[in-house]
Amino acid sequence: MINNYACFKTRPLLYRKTKQVVMNFTHLSVACALLSAMGSCYSQFNSTISDWSSDDSKILYSSNASGTTEIYTMDIDGRNRERLTSSKKESANWWATYSPGDSLIAFYSWRDGNAEIYRMDADGSKQVRLTSNTGYDYYPTWSPDGSKIAFYSGRDGNSEIYIMDSDGTDQTNLTNHPAEDQDPRWSPDGKSIVFQSNRDGHWQIYNISIDGTTAFNLSKNEFNDELPTWSGDGSKITFHSNRTGRSQLFVMTSTGTEERVITDTGTNNFIGAISNDGKEIIYCSDRNGNREMYKSKIDGSQEILLSQE
Ligand SMILES: [Ca+2]
Ligand SMILES: [Ca+2]
């Protein structure tokens, strides 16, 4: 464990978000397994999924296979891989998400020395920075009409969900809560944002109205539920949780009912995203020693390996 933490210290930019995800787990065996899988840092390749295109034909992901962490797209069958960013070591371009209609991509990067939100065209051109402050700015998500981007930021001393116009103007704190509020995903109907918060003592999935007036805990348990995503019709929310003793992907209704596990409980599976049609899910697993990307039907059947870096 000491070596693994030392690894994070010496390579802080590339793995800061991953460390954050790992450290969110309270179950020690899960944290140890994940840290072990990532312990060698540059000696191992890691891929992280982040989003589906609107027609579910492509996915966005990040990978350090080239030596730097860059954003890629590929067809859902693994073909036509295309690298969209190219930057200096430890820039850590991560968590890319498509705008509605897929013409733009928002992501975060450390390329300017601090985690900031960026935007680019879908082919990787016209990369522009949207945030500029000394706090971290992570995990962008587009409003359904494409006019706004939500993200989370530590600029005020604890993480909050912010909303800004898609050109970076008018940045507004939505959550205003002393606990940590992270990993937003805008609802398909535009009326709310689902996110994770530890305001009730554990990481739980919350849904906050877009005016910030009401926030509901959809998890209501004593485990850690994290990284929620919506199906395109807004009926389903997926997330990962440590409730089985390992990290697994779960699906529930948008009101927090009918929870069921998707992935094999014998291995760690984490960082998922449900397809827009709600029929499939992509996620990561460390079962082969590297962090690789997998896809399965939403009932967990027909799992395939998407990446073999
Ligand atoms: Ca920043
Ligand atoms: Ca907060």
Q: What number is the average pLDDT over the span 138-161?
A: 97
| Residue ranges near ligand 2 (ion) with Cβ within 5 Å | 158, 160, 177, 181
For residue 176, the ligand closest to its alpha carbon is 2
Degrees, nearest 5: CA angle 230-193-244: 55
CA of 13 to the centre of ligand 2 (A): 22
For residues 247 and 269, the answer to whether their CB atoms sit within 8 Å is yes
The residue ranking higher by pLDDT, 220 or 36, is 220
What does each C-alpha distance from 59 to 207, 252, 283 come to in angstroms?
Answer: 25, 22, 11
Q: Identify the band that residue 120 occupies on the pLDDT scale cut at 50, 70 and 90.
A: very high
For residue 114, the ligand closest to its alpha carbon is 1
Give the residue extent of every domain in the chain.
2-305
Of the ranges 9-13, 83-87, 201-205, 243-247, which one carries the lowest mean pLDDT score? 9-13
The pLDDT tens digits for 198-253 are: 999 999 999 999 999 999 999 999 999 999 999 999 999 999 999 999 999 999 99
CA of 75 to the centre of ligand 1 (A): 31
For residue 136, the ligand closest to its alpha carbon is 1
CA of 199 to the centre of ligand 2 (A): 8
pLDDT of residue 44: 57
**Helix, coil or strand: residue 43:** helix
Q: CA 111, CA 92: separation in Å to the nearest integer? A: 7
CA of 282 to the centre of ligand 1 (A): 28
pLDDT > 80? residue 197: yes
Q: CA 273, CA 47: separation in Å to the nearest integer? A: 14
pLDDT > 50? residue 29: no
For residue 160, the ligand closest to its alpha carbon is 2
CATH topology of domain 2-305: Neuraminidase (2.120.10)
For residue 157, the ligand closest to its alpha carbon is 2
- Sequence-distant contacts of 5-11: CB under 8 A, at least 24 apart: 5/35, 7/38, 7/39, 7/40, 7/41, 10/41, 11/41, 11/42, 11/90
CA of 178 to the centre of ligand 2 (A): 5
The residue ranking higher by pLDDT, 221 or 12, is 221
Q: Quick one: how far is CA 183 from the chain centroid?
A: 6
For residue 155, the ligand closest to its alpha carbon is 1
CA of 196 to the centre of ligand 2 (A): 10
**Phi, psi angle pair for 215, to nearest 5°:** -135, 125
pLDDT of residue 286: 87
Q: What number is the average pLDDT over the span 300-304?
A: 96
CA of 208 to the centre of ligand 2 (A): 13
CA of 158 to the centre of ligand 2 (A): 5
pLDDT > 70? residue 37: no
CA of 181 to the centre of ligand 2 (A): 5
CA of 161 to the centre of ligand 1 (A): 13
For residue 156, the ligand closest to its alpha carbon is 2
**Helix, coil or strand: residue 296:** strand
Q: What number is the average pLDDT over the span 178-199?
A: 98
pLDDT of residue 281: 98
C-alpha gyration radius of the chain: 17
